Structure formats: C-alpha cells, structure tokens
Chains A and B, each alone.
Chain A
C-alpha cells in the first residue's frame, strides 16, 4: 500500500482572492496548519479504539507517540516532507520531525529539539537491514541557546543487538531485532532502543532521547511514509 504525506499545494493565484467569498488562501492555510477534523482521522487516543482498518482508511503516514513517564498517547500525522525529513503533527499542533525513524526535531512539547546531525550510515535515519547496522556512530543534538547554532550536544553512540523477537503494533506482528544504543558526550548519557524489522531495517517501535528537559519519547510507527 502506498502512503503519501498530506501535503497541500501552495499553488495559489491571488487573483482568486479578490473574487469574494471565502479565500482559497485561508482554506489552504487551514488545511495545512490545522489538524484533520476528528471524523477524518483515526481516534487520536487510546490504543483500544485504534484498529488497523482505521489506519488503512486514513491513508496517511502515521505515528503514535508518548513522552516517557507520561500516560497519554496520541497520534501524529505526516504533514510535511522536506528532503527526507517528515514532520508529523498532533491535533494540538505539536510537531515531531523525523529522518527515517530518527527524531530530529520537536516543537511545542517543551524543551524543543531543534535539529540533529547524523552520520550518513546512521541506520535509524536510513533503512538498513539489521545485519548491516554499524556498531558505533556519532550525532549532534541541537537545542535553543545563544546564537544561531544554539546549544549543541555531541555524542558517540554504541549499538548492541539483542536476539530477534516479535512485536505487535495495532494488530500487525513484526519480526524484529531489538537494538540498544548507548550514547555519551558533553556531559550527557542516554540509551535509545529500536525494534528493527530484521530484513528491511524498518524501525517499528523506538524509545529515543529528545533532550535533557524532556527526556525520552516512545514512538510506534503505525504507517511509514512511502513516496510514490
């Protein structure tokens, strides 16, 4: 099945704005900025109400996320595609940007993660079969601070696989290889986990560090982005 980012065209002719009535500009802005209406999207909370059928009907890239230590889970819809970066938005307009399955940005969650630099062979960012995952990599996490670059935390990460297992996410069971990633640097140490489909390298479930202020975020990939 093919999924596409919910991307609105910016092809607007302002001549149409003077013709009276509701402006198409406003409509498009609302479509892009505001979340889908409740009856257009799967139930935003509670895994018990979320079914694979609803996800399939929705037809968009979709993730489920929860801040570690909090009880509330919600859905975020893929709304923008820039290069290979996908921005997912919740119904409360809080954003998570991901490169592959690497969280490279958060907005509105508190303690914004501005951006992440990753190695070219980072298997979290680029689909990589489990057997080809490197054992070490580096990343730079950027946060708000003084100056355009803000505050950067550079870490070195070591990846360790665990025995293959199975996980089930909304009625679908995946054969995965769990990886544990221990990252250290600039006075920070954290541990990420990835449940990686052994053959394809698609990460279906992950726990990732998003900064000192917010800690970790749990993400289930309900429907990954594919580009036609």
Chain B
C-alpha cells in the first residue's frame, strides 16, 4: 500500500490534538473575562482569543462572549440573569472593556483600566484600575482600586467626588471613577499539574442589590480552582463570600490557533522560467480559435482547484482572465496559482497575465502580473515584497471586450442547506432566547449578475416565539418579530436581483420581491469603491411594505421608504474595518449605525454594531437601542480543505423598533470588500502559496 509523505488529514487531526493537550491558556473569571474570580486582573488573553463562558452562582447565571479585540484591548458582552435584584428578576445585558496601559516587565507589573457595564449603567456598572505581576513559581499577584459596584465593599475614599445618579436614558460618562473607591486583590497559582490553577481573592463587591432579597455575604474572601484539561476548554469551581458556590465553563478559540494546521494540502505548480528570448513569436495568435482553445484546455486544470474561468481574451502578448474562485479563502492564493499555471501553459510570447477575480457576478480588481517578473521572483528570498512591488492593480470593467470568450453556463442553479442559530438578547422576558433553524436557499442564475433567489426556514428548536403577543407599538416594524417565527416553514426571501457596474469603480444592485421575512418591496444600492482606496461610499434606498406574519405571501398595512448613506473604511490597523451608516430606518426614525469588525487574514471575523436614532429609549422597545455582535469562523480553520465557506453565530436585539434596518442579502460592500488593494496587500503572502 502506498503511503503519503505527509498524510495531511490524519496527521493534522493528531497534531492538533497532540499540540493542544495540557497546554496552559489565559485564566478566566466567573464573569467570563480574564481575571480572578469576581475581581479583574491586568492580565490579558492572547490576541484574537474568543471565548464563550457559561456561569452559574447562587445569585447570577448566564453567558458571556469575550473577544481580545486588540493585543491591549479586551471586550466582553454579558447576558446575565439575577434572580433577586432589588425586588425581582433582572435580565441584564452588559458590555465591558479592559485596556492595558502598561505591559509587565521584569521590574514592573502590568497595569490595566477597565469599564464594566458602561453602556447601560446597569447592575454591574463599575470602573477599575488594576496591576498584576508574576512573581515566579507560577504565582501571579493582582491588586487594584474599584469604583461603582467594585467600590461598594469597605470603601476607602471617594477621590473624584460623589457618583451621580444614573440617568437611565443615556450613557453616563460623568459617573466614571466617581463615588466610593475600594481596594481589591488576589493571587493565582499555576500548579505543577498541567492545566490546574488555584485562586484566592479579596472582593470589593458588597452585593448591595442582591442583599435586598436575602443574599448575605459573610466574607469578602473568595476561593477557586480552575482546570483546563485541553486547550480551549476550561472549567472552574468557586466558593464565594463564605456562603455561595459558583461554577464556570469556558470554550475558547483563536484565529491564530487553527484546529487543523494551516497550509496542509496540495502545493502549487512549480514555475520553470522560459529560456532566453527564443520562441517568442506571436504568429500563433492569428488563429481565431486560440482563446477558446486555451480556455477550454486550462479550465479543467484550474477547476480542479475550484477556479472557474468566466471570460477570457488572449493576444500574442497578453492574456485577460475573469475568474471565479470558489474554494480558496484567500484570493491572492488563487491568483498566484493561476499565474503559475499560465507560466507553464502559455506560449513564450505571452508576457502579461491580467487576472480579474469576480465576486457575486461582479468583476472587481484586475491584477496584472508580468511573466518575466514572476519567473525572476519565484522561490527567491524576497519574492513576497518584490512581487507586490511589480504587480499592478486596476479597477476592472464588468466585462471583457466584445468578442471575448465566455463560459457558457447560464442558466445555472445552485442550492444550500444550513443550520442557523439566532440568539435574541432581550426578548420575551428573558436575558436571551435561542432558536435553531434549518434554512434552505436556492439561486437560479439567469446570467452573470442577474439571478432569482429564495430562502425558506423551518424551526427545529427554540423559544423565541414562546408567549408572543402582538406589539402595541405604533410602528411595529420589529417588535412583532416573534410572531414571524412561530414555526414554519417561512419564506424568508424571494427576490430577483441584478448586480452590475456603473463604472469600473462603481458597483450597483437592484433587488425586488420579498426582501426579508418582514418586508417586501424594491431596493437599490450603489457603492463607489476604487480598488486603490481604503474607503468607499455607498447609498441605498428601498420602498417597502410590511409582510403579514400569518400569511407567507400577504401584507400588513404599514409601508415606508428607508435609506442610508454609508462610509466604509478599512483602517489597515490589525484588520479593523469601520462602517458608519446614516439615514432613515424602517420605523421612520433617523439616526446612524456604527459598526466595527476585526478580520483576520485567515477569514475569522468578529464584529459588533450600535445604532442610535431619534427614537427615545422608552419607545424603542426591548434593549433600549439596537446592538449586536457576530462571529464568523471559516471552515478552513477547522478542516484541512480549501473552502470559502464559513460558519458563525450572531447575537442581536431583534425586538426593537428603533434603528431597524432592512435585512437584505449580501450588500455590495460585503461582496467586494476582499478584492481591493488593501486586502490584497494584507494577504499577499498567500500569492506564493
């Protein structure tokens, strides 16, 4: 039996297990962020670390999503339930930030500042300064000063004055670091047993709100044990306040720590340089069938790697290819592999390879590679930077010149079946409610850019619609969302869509039909995004009518016109992209949405958004204002396969009528954002892979 040198599937799995066993990772606190038990530390998780934590104590239970957004910035979103909080049950959603002011050195501790529950000024609102120092033998000592809830036990002073009462309607910046301050601290010891650590802390939290309904802390001292049997899974058990027991389960992952080793698979075709100046005659190009012959012969070779030639033109010196890369997560890798194949296949006279990747039926950026540069750079030590310097990038026209060869594939039908897990942060009187849905989607592509798409959803499990009653809102654009999710199947979408380019730098989309589960109508969008620019401008306008929730094809009376102007900015800083949308939302309210996302070069993306409009918090509905977070994880991160597919989870407020925007399919920026020079630069290392 023949054996492979590197049997990548089995080896990859074994290696992943072998390298992950008993590895030590960061320490999580009971609230899911890095820390001791209830108290924070100045220690941080690895960059990009993303963790789900589930917690239960005698006073609070719920979940937390923690994301190390930047090497010095940790963010956490909590969905907690406090059963006994000032007279009733509190469902609290809160957002925390922790920033590293100083990193630890042999002569000084690390120093961090943190804000807990600072957007809504809720049950956990507090601020702190904390220092941590590893003093050797696995022992880390932390100590700090807390305000707000963290300044409620045995306060020492109020150094910056009294703390104003919460406004309840806005972010109370004037509360920060005001009022009583109290000391807290603790130690953590990484024992010699792999993955096992013990903790002890002195808490500055008096649990004032919980005391009203009977919780009686007997001691400020908390003790705990953390155990991480395998990297990515951590459990903890704690004895708190002399009276309470808490448990924690944390499941974590990191874009920089793939489950299977990166780059396992098939290597690229080797490049052999042409010899001298011989045989560069272009007379072969007089054959009118040359382009078609080449396209038909190259297609099976490239299709083996998931690359499809859509259009082609070949002259004696230049080849133009419009390609559809369906498998490789990094477009630059596909471009490099095409260039290598062309260097093998084409007559010596062809000096320029012009490769244009397409996305959603749209031609994006033309990448022009000079063949002699490729030959001179391949395998060399400086191949990456040198090839970046010699490659040209231009905005592509949506089609090649008239008479170009084009792939005869239309009409084309495709379908998919996917599970979806929407999580509502504030619905139906609970901190969070979850559905598990099965979604079937299909697309019939009539021509490039023109398609009819449909999407059906069937609920498998869930509680989002439990107890749903019609909303009393004057503009129930979203507050009846639960009524739309009572079972299924439901028609989420049935539209005709046309994408095209108004100019090489300007993309456009028109959609009509049942645009989303709650609205139908007509929608148009334009995006100006030159490829050499790290920002773009977009505009979208839609005329819609609300769909009936009991009838798959019927309508309610409410109709409106909604639209936004959008600014997109790829900051180039740690993969962070920003988006600002300003306009009129579905309920007629006017405001803006600010979105931030961090995208890693392997496709991981963690994003969040906040929408504020002129609709007052008390009219908004559940959640006070619209917000959400989402994680998208490429399947390539988990499996040794070349695939552009991704999986993920999104959490957001679904019941608020304010700040509600049409939930369309992919908007233009989402479709083309991987195809500009900024993104190509970030992933250009893959060009030689």
A residues within 8 Å of B by Cβ?
5, 7-8, 10-15, 17-18, 23, 25-26, 28-30, 32-33, 38, 44-45, 65-67, 70, 72-76, 79-83, 85, 87, 89-95, 97, 104-105, 107-112, 114-118, 140, 142-150, 213-214
Note all chain A residues with C-beta closer than 8 A to B348. 10-11
Contact of B270 among A18, A87, A116, A149 (CB under 8 A): A87
Interface size class of B (residues with CB under 8 A): 35 or more
Name the A residues within 8 Å of B261 (CB-CB): 110-111, 213-214
CB distance from B622 to the nearest CB of A (A): 40
Q: Which of A94, A114, A117 contacts B689 (CB 8 A)?
A: A114
Q: Once bound together, how far apart are the Cα atoms of A104 and B382, in whole Å?
A: 11
Chain A residues with CB under 8 Å of B687's CB are 148
Kindly state the separation between the CA atoms of A94 and B267 in the bound complex, as whole angstroms.
5
Pairs A-B, 10 closest by C-beta atoms: A74-B5, A80-B270, A107-B267, A17-B293, A110-B261, A117-B381, A148-B388, A95-B267, A85-B379, A108-B267
Per the 8 Å Cβ criterion, residues 227-278 of B in contact with A are 261-274
20 sample A-B contacts, Cβ–Cβ < 8 Å, listed by A number? A10-B343, A14-B287, A14-B293, A18-B293, A67-B6, A70-B11, A72-B4, A72-B5, A75-B5, A80-B272, A85-B380, A95-B270, A108-B6, A110-B12, A110-B261, A111-B263, A115-B384, A144-B263, A144-B689, A213-B262
Q: Does B189 contact A (CB under 8 A)?
A: no
Q: Scoring B residues 329 to 347 as 1 if CB is less than 8 Å from chain A, else 0, what string do you get?
A: 0000000000001011111
Check if B218 is an interface residue, CB within 8 A of chain A.
no
Q: How far is the CA of A11 from the CA of B314 in the complex (A)?
A: 16
Residue of A nearest to B316 (CB): A14
Neighbour of A142 across the interface among B15, B345, B384, CB < 8 A: B384
Task: Say yes or no for B294: interface residue by CB 8 A criterion.
Answer: yes
A114 and B6 contact, CB distance less than 8 A: no
Give the complex CA separation of A10 and B371 in angstroms.
Answer: 13
Smallest CB–CB gap between B508 and chain A, Å?
32
From A65, A79, A85, A116, contact of B5 by CB (8 A): A65
Q: Closest CB of chain B to A18's CB: distance in Å?
A: 4
Q: What is the chain B residue whose CB lies nearest that of A81? A: B272
B residues within 8 A CB of A13?
284, 347
**Chain A residues in 8 Å Cβ range of B387:** 148
Inter-subunit contact A144/B344 (CB<8 Å): no
Residues of B within 8 A of A148 (CB): 384-385, 387-388, 681, 684-685, 687
Contact B380 A33 (CB under 8 A): no
Q: Nearest chain-A residue to B293 (Cβ)?
A: A17
A-chain residues with CB within 8 Å of residue B344 when the two chains form the complex: 8, 10, 28-29, 32-33
Shortest C-beta distance, B313 to chain A (Å), equals 13
Find chain B residues with CB under 8 A from A116 CB: 381
- Interface-forming stretch among B49-57, B297-305, B459-467, B607-615? B297-305
Task: Out of B15, B298, B575, name the residue touching A25 (CB < 8 Å).
Answer: B298
Interface pair A115/B379, CB less than 8 Å apart: yes
Residue of A whose beta carbon sits closest to that of B380: A115
- B176 contacts A by Cβ under 8 Å: no
Min distance, Cβ A87 to any Cβ of chain B, angstroms: 4
Compute how far the CA of A107 lies from the CA of B689 in the bound complex, rounded to whole angstroms.
7
Determine whether the beta carbon of A108 is less than 8 Å from that of B293.
no
Contact of B289 among A18, A117, A146, A149 (CB under 8 A): A18
Contact A10 B345 (CB under 8 A): yes
Contact B5 A110 (CB under 8 A): no
**Roughly how many angstroms separate A150 CA and B385 CA in the complex, as a whole number?**
9
**Do B266 and A92 touch (CB < 8 A)?**
yes
Tell me if B8 is interfacial: C-beta within 8 Å of chain A: yes
Closest to B18 in A: A69
User: Is there an interface contact between B685 and A150, defined as CB atoms closer than 8 Å?
Assistant: yes
A110 in contact with B347 (CB, 8 Å): no
Which residue of the partner chain B has the closest CB to A79? B270
**How far is B648's CA from A188's CA once the two chains are assembled, in angstroms?**
34
Q: A94-B266, A111-B262 are in contact. Are A15 and B290 (CB under 8 A)?
A: yes
Is B7 engaged at the interface, CB distance under 8 Å to the other chain? yes
Interchain CB contact under 8 A, A25 and B6:
no
Whether A10 pairs with B274 at a CB distance below 8 angstroms is yes
Question: Given A14-B284, A81-B272, A90-B5, are A104 and B290 neighbors across the interface (CB < 8 Å)?
Answer: no
The reply to whether A146 and B262 form a contact with Cβ atoms under 8 Å apart is no
From B301, B379, B684, give the contact of A83 (CB < 8 A).
Answer: B379
Find out whether the CB atom of B262 lies under 8 angstroms from the CB atom of A109: no
Whether B380 pairs with A83 at a CB distance below 8 angstroms is: yes
- Least CB distance from A124 to B in Å reads 14
Q: Are the CB atoms of B381 and A140 closer together than 8 Å? A: yes
Bound-state Cα–Cα, A144 to B575, Å: 15
- Is B379 a contact partner of A144 (Cβ separation < 8 A)? no
Contacts A25-B345, A30-B301, A107-B267 known; 9 new A-B pairs at CB < 8 A: A8-B344, A13-B347, A14-B290, A29-B345, A70-B11, A94-B266, A112-B263, A115-B380, A143-B685
Interchain CA distance A76-B2 in the complex, whole Å: 14
Residues of B within 8 A of A147 (CB): 384, 681-682, 684-685
Distance (Å) between the CB of A65 and the closest chain B CB? Answer: 6
How many Å lie between the Cα of A100 and that of B458 in the bound state? Answer: 61
Give A149 to B274 CA distance when docked, in angstroms: 26
Q: Closest CB of chain A to B328's CB: distance in Å?
A: 13
Q: Which residue of B lies closest to A110 (CB)?
A: B261
Asked if B301 and A144 make an inter-chain contact with CB atoms under 8 angstroms apart, the answer reads: no
- B264 A110 Cβ-Cβ under 8 A: yes
Q: Which residue of B has the minimal Cβ distance to A213? A: B261
Name the B residues within 8 Å of A15 (CB-CB).
284, 287, 290
| A15 vs B296: C-alpha distance when bound (angstroms) | 13
Q: How far apart sit A66 and B346, CA to CA, in the bound complex (Å)? A: 35
By beta carbon, the residue of chain B nearest A12 is B347
Q: How far is the CB of B77 from chain A (nearest CB, A)?
A: 26
Q: How far is the CB of B1 from chain A (nearest CB, A)?
A: 9
Please give the distance in Å from A16's CB to the nearest CB on chain B. Answer: 8
Give which listed residue, B290, B298, B385, contacts A149 with CB less than 8 A. Answer: B385
- The reply to whether the CB of B383 lies closer than 8 angstroms to some CB of chain A is yes
Residue of A14, A18, A44, A109 with most partner-chain B CB within 10 A: A14
Q: Say whether B341 contacts A94, CB under 8 Å.
A: no
Are B345 and A28 in contact, with the CB atoms below 8 A? yes
CB pair A10–B6 under 8 Å, yes or no, is no
In angstroms, how far is the closest chain B Cβ from the Cβ of A130? 25
Residue from A66, A74, A109 in contact with B263 in the complex, judged by beta carbons closer than 8 Å: A109
Q: Point out the residues of chain B lying under 8 angstroms from A97, CB to CB.
A: 379
B379 lies within 8 A of A82 (CB):
yes
Contact A38 B297 (CB under 8 A): no
Whether the Cβ atoms of A45 and B3 lie closer than 8 Å is yes
What's the minimum C-beta distance from B669 to chain A, rounded to whole angstroms? 21
Complex: A118 Cα to B379 Cα, angstroms: 13
A145 touching B685 by the CB < 8 A rule? yes
A23 partner, pick from B269, B293, B375, B378, beta carbons under 8 A:
B293
CB-based contact A7/B272 at 8 Å: yes
Complex contact A33–B379 (CB within 8 A): no
Say which residue of B5, B273, B300, B378 sits within 8 Å of A76 (CB atoms): B5
Q: How far is the CA of A114 from the CA of B274 in the complex (A)?
A: 23
Chain A min CB distance to B320 (Å): 15
Q: Check A44–B6 contact: CB distance below 8 A.
A: no
Q: Collect the chain B residues with CB atoms within 8 Å of residue A38's CB.
A: 2
- A109: B residues at CB distance < 8 A: 6, 263-264
A7, B375: Cα distance in complex, Å: 14
A85 to B36, CA, bound (A): 53
List B contacts of A26 (CB < 8 A): 297, 300-301
* 8 Å CB contact of B685 from A18, A114, A118, A140: A114
User: Shortest CB–CB separation between residue B424 and chain A, in angstroms?
Assistant: 36
* Complex Cα–Cα for A217 and B686 (A): 22
* Chain B hits for A146, CB < 8 A: 575, 601, 682, 685
Whole-angstrom CA separation of A47 from B314 in the bound complex: 48
Cα(A6)–Cα(B279), bound, Å: 20
Q: In the assembly, what is the distance between CA of A179 and CA of B675, in Å?
A: 47
A73 and B314 form a contact (CB under 8 A): no
The verdict on A32 contacting B270 (CB below 8 Å), with A12-B345, A118-B381, A144-B262 known, is yes
Chain B residue contacts of A67, Cβ below 8 A: 5-6
The answer, among B268, B314, B601, for a CB contact under 8 Å with A107, is B268
